[in-house]
Amino acid sequence: MQFLAQPPRFLFFTGKGGVGKTSIACATAVQLAAEGKRVLLVSTDPASNVGQVFGETIGNRIVAIAAVPNLSALEIDPQAAAQAYRDRIVGPVRGILPEPVVRGIEEQLSGACTTEIAAFDEFTALLIDSALTTDYAHIIFDTAPTGHTIRLLQLPGAWSGFLETGKGDASCLGPLAGLEKQRVQYREAVEALADPQRTRLVLVARAQRATLREAARTHEELAGIGLSQQYLVINGLFPESEAEQDPLAAAIYRREQAALAAMPDALKTLPQDQIALKPFNVVGLDALRHLLVNAADPGGGDATELPARLDAPDLSALVDDIAADGHGLVMVMGKGGVGKTTLAAALAVELAHRGLPVHLTTSDPAAHLAETLEGSLPNLTISRIDPREQTERYRQHVLDTKGANLDAEGRALLEEDLRSPCTEEIAVFQAFSRIIREAGKKFVVMDTAPTGHTLLLLDATGAYHRELTRQMGDTGVRFTTPMMQLQDSKQTKVLIATLAETTPVLEAANLQSDLRRAGIEPWAWVVNNSVAAAHPHSPLLRRRAHNELREIDAVATQHARRYAVVPLLTQEPVGVARLRDLANWKHQS
């Protein structure tokens, strides 16, 4: 593997959800540790599953991996980091300022922006020379920091002075107030990230057009702020030898080769490695040791027994229950890479085909609804909450109102603040709130952004709900917030999308727990791209299908109140006709 040749001290693995970056990061850590080097594996993913991969409980502290000499691991807990960050800011003023003022500061620091900054605060401590990291030859990060977070920490403005003079009242000044003391640490960390002798970024993708586009965007964004040494890993590539006698296998192979041929130019110049699709789930030490080895499959797939017909409901069975209400909000949530856009489009098409008015919309910056639908349908309208467009609209509103009476210095600092990720969070929330109001008269089907972004949106929704409730007090005025609508199962149905694999099911279960803590009860689960539902003949696919059966059973019996399974199709589900086939596969097979 080229990305492992003469590795620098810091290795980052990043990519769209579902591409296997955690597995590759863990396998890399195991390989370097086997070479006798002391390695620290760090996850900065809020939904980290590194512990499950190794079969160990890790958490927000450095833990030695018992089965792998020289390897330790750490899962940065964003919520714990955020609480420590809040305590550092609020602690000095508690008991000095009036209690209502302290509560106001705490509320300002309760949002997702604080969580993101606080997690980065812990992450940067690992990039500077300190007693914490001095013993490690390599530090491997599962999920690199995003470009906008690094840009946020490069902002040169004197935030504390801006606050003290009372000039600011915008989206992110509360969270940013704690950054000044960390300025030196952040500067040293950003310098380490930009040093190719110390840092290598590994972009992980699948041979799929969407994930390659996402990798190209990440490449350009991070290269633009100095992370120049980048490698590309194409994971889970389907072998040509499996495509000879199985129409489904042949279709997968052709699709992947076409995606590679159409790879964005920005990626073509990067050093590239390819990792073949494995018949096993990448969980456990033995699987990790074999992941980076492209040896021939030993076979055994022909003898794998599969049921003649998968006994599971299809998507149209869920649509029957949804349609009975006549209107409402349907939200499709899940990690990146599980096919939320396709599922949302299939639900919307099936509802519209039944003569019901439907508005299909997305809050995912990378979604391509128009490409998925490839046409129009009576009763169906589509839209997209464009984060850039909504952010610019919000920016201009803040500058025209809060910035109207500022002097040049104050306005410049306000403009700087409005370039933070918190601004986008607020702008998208406002657009989200406008659209879900339509669900009182028609169906609104929402394809949400990947889980982390969705939780940011829900966090903003919850913060708005708490603030409005506090302001209204006991006035007796009746009101409904977006969060109240999301918590009302009669108005909102949340569908959790997943794949029939160990890690995606675990991540979906974690998302369900997060939603329940917010008072939102998921209505159904959808298992997408199931090989077991597609009746494969390829030995490799049959072994993967056999592994799926256990995960589908876990969804049906342990996690979901109701569920549906959607098969992996020979033809990509693009266009109205194929989307309907996707929803009604049991009637087609």
What tens digit of pLDDT does each residue of 432-474 get?
777 878 888 899 998 876 444 444 555 555 554 455 455 445 5
SS3 state at 266: helix
Kind and range of the H or E run holding 219: helix 209-223
Q: Is the pLDDT of residue 130 over 90?
A: no
What pLDDT, on the 0 to 100 scale, is given for residue 551? 95
> Beta strands of 320-408 (E only): which ranges?
328-333, 358-362, 380-384
Confidence tier at 169 by pLDDT (50, 70, 90): very low
- The answer to whether 177 touches 163, Cβ cutoff 8 Å, is yes
Residue 226: DSSP 8-state: T
d(C-alpha 495, C-alpha 402), whole Å = 39
- The active-site residue out of 15, 17, 20, 403 is 20
Average pLDDT on 64-91 reads 84
d(C-alpha 24, C-alpha 21), whole Å = 5
Q: Is the pLDDT of residue 90 over 60?
A: yes
Amino acid at position 58, single letter: I
Q: Which domains does the chain have, with CATH numbers?
A: 2-291 (3.40.50.300), 315-588 (3.40.50.300)
Kindly list the distances between the CA atom of residue 584 and the CA atoms of 294, 387, 579, in Å, as whole numbers in the listed order: 37, 33, 9
pLDDT digits (tens, 9 = 90+) for 30-73: 999 999 999 999 987 655 667 777 877 887 788 999 889 999 99
pLDDT digits (tens, 9 = 90+) for 294-324: 765 544 445 568 887 888 999 999 999 999 9
Q: Is the pLDDT of residue 212 over 80?
A: yes
- The active-site residue out of 14, 22, 124, 361 is 22
- The active-site residue out of 16, 21, 278, 442 is 21
- The active-site residue out of 124, 391, 454, 503 is 503
Q: Is the pLDDT of residue 202 over 90?
A: yes
Q: Is the pLDDT of residue 366 over 60?
A: no
What pLDDT, on the 0 to 100 scale, is given for residue 319? 94
d(C-alpha 42, C-alpha 10), whole Å = 11
Q: Is the pLDDT of residue 125 over 90?
A: no
What pLDDT, on the 0 to 100 scale, is given for residue 172? 46
Q: Is 403 a catalytic residue?
A: no
Q: Is 481 a catalytic residue?
A: no
What pLDDT, on the 0 to 100 scale, is given for residue 137? 95
Closest by CA to 544, choosing from 528, 530, 563, 561, is 530
Residue 15 tokens, joined = 């990519």
Q: Is 228 a catalytic residue?
A: no
Q: Is 459 a catalytic residue?
A: no
- The active-site residue out of 23, 124, 342, 361 is 23
3-state helix, strand, coil in the chain (%, to 5): 50, 15, 35
d(C-alpha 437, C-alpha 512), whole Å = 24
Q: Is the pLDDT of residue 180 over 60?
A: no
Confidence tier at 422 by pLDDT (50, 70, 90): low
Residue 242: DSSP 8-state: G
Amino acid at position 512, single letter: Q
d(C-alpha 442, C-alpha 379), whole Å = 10
Which position has the token pair 């050093």? 271
Kind and range of the H or E run holding 527: strand 524-530
Q: Is 22 a catalytic residue?
A: yes
pTM of the model: 0.76
d(C-alpha 458, C-alpha 429), whole Å = 8
- The active-site residue out of 45, 77, 142, 581 is 45
What pLDDT, on the 0 to 100 scale, is given for residue 155? 47
Q: Is the pLDDT of residue 480 over 60?
A: no
pLDDT digits (tens, 9 = 90+) for 532-577: 999 899 999 999 999 999 999 999 999 999 999 999 988 888 888 8
Go through the chain and tell me how many residues it has: 589
Structure-model confidence comparison of residues 495 and 167, the more confident one:
495
pLDDT digits (tens, 9 = 90+) for 568-585: 988 888 888 888 888 887
DSSP secondary structure letters along 136-202: -SEEEEESPPPHHHHHHHH----HHHHHHTT---STTHHHHTT-GGGHHHHHHHHHHHH-TTTEEEE
Side-chain-side CA neighbours of 296 within 13 Å: the count stands at: 5
d(C-alpha 316, C-alpha 318), whole Å = 5
d(C-alpha 181, C-alpha 152), whole Å = 15
